[in-house]
Amino acid sequence: QVQLVESGGGLVQAGGSLRLSCAASGRSFSRYGMGWFRQAPGKEREFVADISWTGVTYYTDSVKERFTISRDNAKNTAFLQMNSLKPDDTAVYYCAVRYGSRRFDTSAYDAWGQGTQVTVSS
């Protein structure tokens, strides 16, 4: 089974940027679709972005034109570049891997990282 470790979270002012990383180990990275989710206190975990093994990307409407998902299969790493951050982006961000073609729902993903905290101050 694949193991995922997120990093790169932190505290940033509104309008700032962060780049999250997701390092995978234990299994071939390139064959998986990868997603980013986030969960704010008291809320359900929500879809943020997804990238297929072929590089097809999807974003939730609230982050379009601000966030960019990418992957480096040679390094077994996925990224989420977050620009123009807003306080509403504050959440724990989770990386996830999927083996199937279904995406967006948490149930579509088969392995999860531990999460990294992103806090955007106003």
Reported as a single tens digit per residue, the pLDDT across 62-89 is 999 999 999 988 888 999 999 999 999 9
pLDDT reading at 18 higher than 90 = yes
- What number of other Cβ atoms are within 10 A of residue 22's Cβ? 27
pLDDT reading at 119 higher than 90 = yes
Q: Which residue's structure tokens are 């072929």?
A: 54
DSSP for 34-86? EEEEEE-TTS--EEEEEE-TT--EEE-GGGTTTEEEEEEGGGTEEEEEE-S--
77 touches 23 (CB < 8 A): yes
| Mean pLDDT value across the chain | 93
Residue 78 bridge partners (DSSP): 22, 71
Question: How far is it, in rounded angstroms, from Cα 119 to Cα 14?
Answer: 9
pLDDT attached to residue 29: 54
